[in-house]
């Protein structure tokens, strides 16, 4: 398979169909449950690190497998037999995973490695939405890792600073993502994020993205910036109100219009391209709906990080069919062109999911540049 296929179509196929692991020792840096890219494994194809589903139901039936002997060759199962696609590599467990706090909490329960060089944490591992089946986001598994004992409910600023400093010094982590479940306070998590960012920044020079729902008071954007946050993410997930009401009824109480208003204020504080939103393609929004909202976002100066929806086991949507690679291409190709036109590129984001890019092939489309159409045709 040529490099062009590896960069674009192969990533789309892997992220929508998953990777079937045939032996336990093929599992490297991976995670189950929790917030963010879960049930995934980080793998590098060429020079691109991507998060690929390995623990999902879809992955169990994926045509993509690893070489049963060496585990470093990606194969595709076809009626004609196994076809070699690409050489892959995996990150080893980071050195900071071997450490614990003075009171015996493993660092891995406080923050984890995402992608290749991103430290990620859910500061508050509970959410007012998750506690009610009538209000919960149907795709969310924030409580799974907590109930399984793989994390702790509340990470203190001191713990986060300690782990972040170790991750930078021992593993060369380049930036950090701090997200949170939504607490029952009107700031929607901004307060605990601000104190956490301030503590980490006092300990180590590390770019940080914070993620929360739009707070009730716009002054929180300035508070977060003053605390040391370099970027902010406020995640729509779904872009049309009918889908939001059906899939995420609690979070939909904050309408898209309020997100758009908050985005404009946040851009004034953090700057163009340093405000982003996570959009899950495959929840029910059409490609046209997603691209229409992305046009609105880029006009404001917000980076729309569009990723394929991956159903997580143990959630109400575990049997939902993921989007196809073709559906993702129909969104990401024109979106990347729009991002280039407006000068909103992943490589310019200081920290966060868009900067990492491992959950989507969007950055590969951006890098295609003026040759994007030719590359798409060649693949």
Please report which confidence band the pLDDT of residue 315 belongs to, taking 50, 70 and 90 as the band edges.
Answer: confident
**Cα(261)–Cα(271) distance, integer angstroms:** 15
Which residue has 């179509």 as its token pair?
9
Cβ contacts of 219 within 8 Å, gap of 6 or more: none
**Both tokens assigned to 370:** 């003026």
Q: Residue 132's pLDDT is what?
A: 66
Q: Is the pLDDT of residue 71 over 50?
A: yes
Mean pLDDT is lowest, of 228-237, 284-293, 334-343, 365-374, for 365-374
**Which CATH code is given to the segment(s) 95-378?**
3.20.20.70
Q: Is the pLDDT of residue 108 over 60?
A: yes
Please report which confidence band the pLDDT of residue 319 belongs to, taking 50, 70 and 90 as the band edges.
Answer: confident
Higher pLDDT among residues 133 and 183, named by residue: 183
**Both tokens assigned to 239:** 């872009």
Please report which confidence band the pLDDT of residue 213 belongs to, taking 50, 70 and 90 as the band edges.
Answer: very high
Percent of the chain with pLDDT over 70: 87
Q: Residue 38's pLDDT is what?
A: 61
**Degrees (nearest 5) of the Cα angle 143, 98, 101?**
70
Q: For the chain, what are the domain ranges?
A: 3-89, 95-378
Q: Are 15 and 53 in contact (CB under 8 A)?
A: yes
**Degrees (nearest 5) of the Cα angle 222, 280, 262?**
25
Q: Is the pLDDT of residue 1 over 50?
A: no
Does the pTM of the predicted model rise above 0.75? yes
**Cα(197)–Cα(207) distance, integer angstroms:** 10
Q: Residue 30's pLDDT is what?
A: 52
Which residue has 């004034």 as its token pair?
268
Q: Residue 273's pLDDT is what?
A: 98
Angle in degrees, 0-180, between the axes of helices 325-342 and 287-300, rounded to the nearest 10: 20
Cβ contacts of 212 within 8 Å, gap of 6 or more: 179, 180, 182, 188, 189, 190, 193, 232, 234
**Cα(63)–Cα(76) distance, integer angstroms:** 5
Average pLDDT on 68-93 reads 82
Where do runs of H (alpha helix) occur along the chain?
3-5, 11-17, 57-60, 144-147, 157-171, 190-203, 219-227, 241-247, 256-270, 287-300, 325-342, 353-356, 362-368, 372-378
Averaged pLDDT of the chain:
88
| CA dihedral (234, 237, 242, 248) positive or negative | negative
Q: Are 238 and 137 in contact (CB under 8 A)?
A: no
Please report which confidence band the pLDDT of residue 369 belongs to, taking 50, 70 and 90 as the band edges.
Answer: low
């Amino acid at each position: 398979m040529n490099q062009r296929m590896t960069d674009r179509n192969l990533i789309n196929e892997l992220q929508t169909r998953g990777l079937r692991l045939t032996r336990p020792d093929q599992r490297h840096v991976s995670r189950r449950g929790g917030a963010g890219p879960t049930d995934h494994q980080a793998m590098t194809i060429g020079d691109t690190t991507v998060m690929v589903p390995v623990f999902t139901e879809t992955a169990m039936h994926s045509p993509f497998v690893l070489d049963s002997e060496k585990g470093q060759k990606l194969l595709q199962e076809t009626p004609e037999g196994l076809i070699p696609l690409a050489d892959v590599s995996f990150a080893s467990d980071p050195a900071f995973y071997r450490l614990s706090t003075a009171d015996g909490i493993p660092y891995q329960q406080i923050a984890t490695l995402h992608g290749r060089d991103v430290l990620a944490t859910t500061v508050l591992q509970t959410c007012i939405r998750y506690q009610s089946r009538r209000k919960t986001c149907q795709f969310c598994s924030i409580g799974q890792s907590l109930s399984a004992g793989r994390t702790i409910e509340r990470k203190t600023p001191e713990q986060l600073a300690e782990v972040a400093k170790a991750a930078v010094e021992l593993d060369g982590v380049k930036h950090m993502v701090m997200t949170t479940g939504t607490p029952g306070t009107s700031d929607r998590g901004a307060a605990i994020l601000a104190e956490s960012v301030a503590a980490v920044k006092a300990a180590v020079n590390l770019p940080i993205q914070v993620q929360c729902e739009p707070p009730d008071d716009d002054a929180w954007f300035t508070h977060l910036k003053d605390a040391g946050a370099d970027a902010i993410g406020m995640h729509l997930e779904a872009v049309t109100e009918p889908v939001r009401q059906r899939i995420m009824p609690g979070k939909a109480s904050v309408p898209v219009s309020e997100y758009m208003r908050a985005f404009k204020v946040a851009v004034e504080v953090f700057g163009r391209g340093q405000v982003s939103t996570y959009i899950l393609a495959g929840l029910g929004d059409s490609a046209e709906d997603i691209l229409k909202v992305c046009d609105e976002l880029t006009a404001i100066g917000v980076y729309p990080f569009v990723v394929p929806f991956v159903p997580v086991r143990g959630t109400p949507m575990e049997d939902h069919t993921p989007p196809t690679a073709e559906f993702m291409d129909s969104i990401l190709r024109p979106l990347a062109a729009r991002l280039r036109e407006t000068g909103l590129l992943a490589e310019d984001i200081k920290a966060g999911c868009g900067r990492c890019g491992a959950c989507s092939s969007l950055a590969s489309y951006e890098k295609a540049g003026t040759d994007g159409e030719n590359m798409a045709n060649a693949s």
